[in-house]
Amino acid sequence: MSDPAASVKLETRNLDFHYGTTRALKNVSLSCLANKVTAIIGPSGCGKSTFIRTLNRMNDVIPGTRLEGQILLDGKDIHDPDVDVVDVRRRVGMVFQKPNPFPKSIFDNIAYGLRINGTRERKTIEAAVERSLRRAALWDEIKDRLEANAFALSGGQQQRLCIARALAVEPEVILFDEPCSAIDPIATAKIEDLIHALKKSYTVVIVTHNMQQAARVSDLTAFMMLGELIEYDATEKVFTSPSSRLTEDYITGRFG
């Protein structure tokens, strides 16, 4: 697209997704570029959350669903029989809509991913916890109370904790599923700054129903409607001169 030198990190080809008899994604082909932020916007129920959850196979856990088409991570289909779903999810991290800290201490929340992946040495874990919290811009606020319960944090801090938790396992891609919809504007600004900073090291995909947010944080924007990818281009292009009438109607607020 705007930057031909950027390489494709994660790509879907002719992706179809069904909940029982409902077809939630229709032939979606989309490439997420390395070290770019890709935003996915669209009205409620357009399939954007379904789409992002296919990228780390989180929809596997929902009974009665079916997926067709390909999802390629570094060119390798993540549904290939020799690919371990656990490995996919470690490489493709996810931050959920509602902050979901575990009812453990702040430290144990961050350490969780390392521990389940087999890291035991206290020193390694401590270093990773500090590094992740710094990257999530949370270290200075909470460095003195790492043993406090994560529920004691504010909503915005909890969400940054969840980002730090995702970063701790060193993923390559980070998926954000409407990360700010349950958070106040000031905390939202912090998370947007964070997303902006994260793209230096990671490939970022963010679903949002907030168009200003998409315009602020993303390099590329995809517009989806009723399970179809309507338009996908550089963010600036999508918001200033969209090629589809549907996109234009949506971003100018005529519906949705």
Give the residue, chosen from 18, 23, 98, 196, that forms a contact with another protein under the rule CB under 8 A. Answer: 98
89 is an interface residue for another protein by CB under 8 A: yes
Give the interface segment with another protein, choosing from 72-80, 96-104, 131-139, 194-202 (CB under 8 A): 96-104
The single residue listed with the structure tokens 């701790």 is 168
CB atoms inside a 10 Å sphere around CB 228: 15
186 is an interface residue for another protein by CB under 8 A: no
Q: Is the torsion defined by CA of 48, 224, 12, 203 positive or negative? A: negative
120 is an interface residue for another protein by CB under 8 A: no
CB atoms inside a 10 Å sphere around CB 71: 20
**DSSP character at residue 174:** E
Give the interface segment with another protein, choosing from 82-90, 212-220, 225-233, 239-247 (CB under 8 A): 82-90
Q: Which two tokens stand for residue 23?
A: 């077809």
Element (H, E) at 26: strand 22-33
117 is an interface residue for another protein by CB under 8 A: yes
56 is an interface residue for another protein by CB under 8 A: yes
Choose between 98 and 196: whose C-beta lies nearer to another protein: 98
13 is an interface residue for another protein by CB under 8 A: no
Choose between 82 and 140: whose C-beta lies nearer to another protein: 82
Pairing between strand 92-95 and 173-177? Answer: parallel
112 is an interface residue for another protein by CB under 8 A: yes
In angstroms, what is the C-alpha Rg of the chain?
18
87 is an interface residue for another protein by CB under 8 A: yes
Q: Is the torsion defined by CA of 227, 233, 235, 236 positive or negative? A: negative
The contact set with another protein (CB under 8 A) reads 56, 58, 61, 63, 86-87, 89-90, 93-94, 96, 98, 100, 102-103, 112-113, 115-117, 149, 162, 165-166, 169
